[in-house]
Amino acid sequence: MKKIIYLTIFFLLGSYNLLPNNLLPGQEEVHGAIRCNKRGVEGVVVTDGENFAVTDVNGRFSIKTGKKRQYVYYSLPSGYESPVENGVPIFYQPIETSKNEYDFELLKVKKDQDKHAFILWADPQISELSEFLMLEKVIDDVNTTEKSFKTYLFGISCGDIVFDQLQLFTDYKKAVSKMKFPFYQAIGNHDLDYSNKSDETSSQTYQSQFGPDYYSFNVVKIHYVVLNDVFYYGYLYHYMGYFAQSQLDWLSNDLSFVDKGSTVIIALHIPTCYVDADFYPDMEKRQKNSLINNKAFYEVLKNFNVHILAGHSHTQWNTLISDSIFEHTQSAACAAWWQGEIGVDGTPKGYSVYEVNGDQLKWYFKGVGLTKDHQFRYYPVGTDADNPDAFLVNVYNYDPLWKVEWYEDNVKMGEMTQYWGVDPLAGKLYQPGKNAKYNWLGYDKTNHIFKAIPKNKKSKIDVKVTDRFGNEYIQ
């Protein structure tokens, strides 16, 4: 009888291995379930960063994974939340050699998601414990903003969480947890393990704290994706903006579960198209400040309405890449590495607020300690030595659909002239070689500065800035 049982088991196992979906060499199969209140959630996309599966009516999934894959994780479905630990959504589990079953429990969202909002910041870039006191002021400001929203809210960080001091990740999570909503993280170039030998191992410490370095989630009609576009090529501080084929393939597969024409929001660190690339004639600087293979990236996105969220530059600017791709580059939460209240382009220390209604977005820049209406800074005639007869305005979040108009003694004079220039206050605060902590710190030119020459230096000047949504800001 025992022989018959053993032969039967052997036959069944052997038959299974002859099926078309048998495992390839180097693969193993892992299983699990995704549930909410002990009931299976159907239709959830599950991945290991390469392969994909979808949960069945009982919330069960089975995925063939390669032995080199580190995590099994899901694309959060709309209407649900992941458990949050120290401010970080836990949507993943490490793959263990002795484990084949991976179960996840989702939480039902209690607030309306049709109209939702998210906070975007970039480059908090903490280098020492004392700087958390300054970050807490940013967090306090975010928490004040959060009180104005009754709908669902979450946060996204576009990388450079710390300034090479990876041991501060734990303290950063404690700080972020003071914001009582999920805060998703992207990896930046200063979040890498530079002591490791290759790109494949450069995000080990980051992943041990925050999980996979590329993933996605859904909120009603919006599909959100977080990517890692920092490619480390093997020796200290040498990196470039680049997507390996494996990540592009993953993104393409991830988007195959999204209806064409949908709005997709992608967060990453290095901008895909650097606005002042002409100021960087040498290839290494271009590699570090933009995505080298951005055309291949845009090709993957061609069937969607895309907003790209980036950081890295410590300056604020927007780029209309195509009719369907809009890139928002977010200035630094630390401004100029915590050395002043404005960034190197004159943008105040701050973050942005994105409001979503269905699949439509509106957004505005929010300076820390400043009102929502503070969207530009005015400089009177004589402030700038390069433009001695002109007054200037720096319009932080300008894009081509904004208008910057001026009036002299209540007479409309037209639109101000946009130019590449230096914000006068930034030029004063960040003179190259003068900073006590960072001798490399200096101001940067910006394209969101405007000038006009009045007929009379003693005239009353009014400036009216109108954003792309019709909101007017007057000084």
According to DSSP, residue 198 is labeled: S
Q: Is it the case that residue 281 has pLDDT exceeding 60?
A: no
CA–CA gap between residue 218 and residue 205 (Å, rounded)? 26
Q: pLDDT tens digits for 196-246?
A: 878 888 889 999 999 999 999 999 999 999 999 999 987 777 899 999 999
CA–CA gap between residue 338 and residue 199 (Å, rounded)? 29
- Reported as a pLDDT band with limits 50, 70 and 90, residue 22 is low
- Reported as a pLDDT band with limits 50, 70 and 90, residue 168 is very high
Q: pLDDT tens digits for 103-143?
A: 999 999 998 899 999 999 999 999 999 999 999 999 999 99
Yes or no: domain 115-367 corresponds to CATH 3.40.50.300: no
The correct CATH number of 2-75+91-105 out of 1.10.1740, 3.40.50, 2.60.40, 1.10.760 is 2.60.40
Q: Is it the case that residue 2 has pLDDT exceeding 60?
A: no
pLDDT attached to residue 20? 38
CA–CA gap between residue 286 and residue 268 (Å, rounded)? 17
Relative to beta strand 88-89, strand 92-94 is: unpaired
> Does 69 or 205 have the greater pLDDT score?
205
Cβ atoms of 62 and 22 closer than 8 Å:
no
Q: Which of these ranges, 23-37, 106-120, 126-140, 418-432, has the smallest mean pLDDT?
A: 23-37
CA–CA gap between residue 232 and residue 185 (Å, rounded)? 19
Domain definitions of the chain by residue range: 2-75+91-105, 115-367, 376-474
CA–CA gap between residue 340 and residue 344 (Å, rounded)? 9
